[in-house]
Amino acid sequence: MSFLSKNQGKWTPKPKKTLLLEEDLDQLRDNFSHVQKLTNIGTWTYLIDRDEVLWSEGIYKILGVDTEKLQGKLEDFYRFIYPQDLEKVAEYVSYAMEGKEYDIEFKIIDDEGKIKYLRERTRVILDGEKKASRIIGIIQDITEFKVVEENLRAFSKDLINAHRISGLGSWRYDFKEKKFYGTNELFRIYDIEPEDMKKDFEDLMKIIHPKDRPRVIEAMKKYTMGDAISIEFRVIQKDGSYKYVLVKGEPRYDKDGQVVEIFGIVQDLTENKILEEKLMKSYNIIAQAEALANIGSWEMDIESNHLVFSDEAMRIYGFNPEKFDNTYEGFLKIVHPDDLFIFHDLFGCPPKDPFNLEFRFIKPDGSIGWIYQRVEFILDEAKKPRQNMISF
């Protein structure tokens, strides 16, 4: 800043007011430079009549270049634009020359080869004839936001797929808004449309199996009191069938300790429950058949010496379920002493094919019983006994 001004060929001191205004202007320029750095923003002005562009310091920083690598032509800037975006940017600049403003996003490759995402907005200045004379543009480096946005989008997509594959949905209920929010998978599990859950849990109660509603209502009361819950119940589908679901959730509080919302997940257990019911039905049929035929079955894991007996086998041997430890050693205690060698020889050299076995055992009342068994060893990949299935 100069303290002299030229007046009629002579240098004279500038008025104090002028000096103060120039100081203020220098300060504004300095502040604006700092603002551009802090916000990753740069500005440019295109003087259409002169076909010249004036770049701010922020533009050079975004491109990662000095003044020598970016001259005052639009083409100098175009060479940094990502190839697939160049045509779009050039087209919008031509629109601006016709007086149309724009707001676009595009990518560039800076001087170090890094890809950056930019947002550009313009303002067109018209002359007295309503023709564009200047285009003022603001460019902001939004790379950080775009990377986060893309990561969130990818994560969201993966999460949606994971929910779909695992039959898992998530939901949230806002007490202040009295509004229910859920994922697509949740609505698929419940077989309802999002608009069917407009306000509160009364809409949800309509699709819960009548016999399960009291338990769900009680769980909701615990929610509002600040307790986390885990509950299974059935939901009625549009075709009249129903699904088994597991709902887990926990409340969230405000700074005053008041419950403000409930967040949770819902998992479709239908396939597991149907399989469980089929297995239980098969087990009951087998148990009834064993009881009618006075036949029991048991299984032993050789590595752990752990045994699993059917109900009828427990009855035949006279085992007390609360006292028997389900070990091979515990079983040998009821084998008649003179027949123990049978089991020692059996496990010393186990047959590869199924075989028959007879031995005596001592009943709880001290009497002796006879057992006939059909035995089969299950071999592992090394052809060694891993498990033996025994029925009698």
Predicted pLDDT of residue 4: 44
C-alpha to C-alpha distance for 180 and 197, rounded to whole angstroms: 7
Q: What percent of the chain has pLDDT over 70?
A: 77
C-alpha to C-alpha distance for 43 and 104, rounded to whole angstroms: 15
Residue 106 predicted with pLDDT over 90: yes
Helix (H, G, I), strand (E, B) or coil at 76: helix
Predicted pLDDT of residue 288: 64
Note whether 41 and 59 are within 8 A (CB): no
- pLDDT, one tens digit per residue, over 267-305 is 888 888 877 777 776 666 565 655 555 677 778 887 788
Mind giving me the DSSP string for 157-178?
A: HHHHHHHHHHTEEEEEEETTTT
Give the list of residues 6+ apart from residue 165 with CB closer than 8 angstroms, or none. none
pTM over 0.75: no
C-alpha to C-alpha distance for 47 and 66, rounded to whole angstroms: 21
Full set of structural domains in the chain with CATH: 15-141 (3.30.450.20), 148-268 (3.30.450.20), 274-391 (3.30.450.20)
Note whether 106 and 68 are within 8 A (CB): no
**Burial tier of 196 (Cβ tally within 10 Å: 0-12, 13-18, 19+):** middle
Predicted pLDDT of residue 278: 74
C-alpha to C-alpha distance for 222 and 354, rounded to whole angstroms: 56
Note whether 166 and 185 are within 8 A (CB): no
Give the list of residues 6+ apart from residue 301 with CB closer than 8 angstroms, or none. 307, 386, 387
- The mean of the pLDDT values for the chain is 80
Mind giving me the DSSP string for 270-325?
A: HHHHHHHHHHHHHHHHHHHHHHHHT--EEEEETTTTEEEE-HHHHHHHT--TTT--
Predicted pLDDT of residue 234: 92
Note whether 325 and 350 are within 8 A (CB): no
Could you give the count of Cα atoms lying within 13 Å of 182 in the half-sphere of its Cβ? 26
- pLDDT, one tens digit per residue, over 320-378 is 888 888 888 888 898 999 998 988 887 777 777 888 888 999 999 999 988 888 887 87
- pLDDT, one tens digit per residue, over 13-44 is 555 555 455 554 455 455 445 455 555 788 88
Q: Cα dihedral angle (334, 335, 337, 338), rounded to 10 degrees?
A: 160
Tokens of 339: 């027949």
C-alpha to C-alpha distance for 247 and 228, rounded to whole angstroms: 11
Predicted pLDDT of residue 17: 55
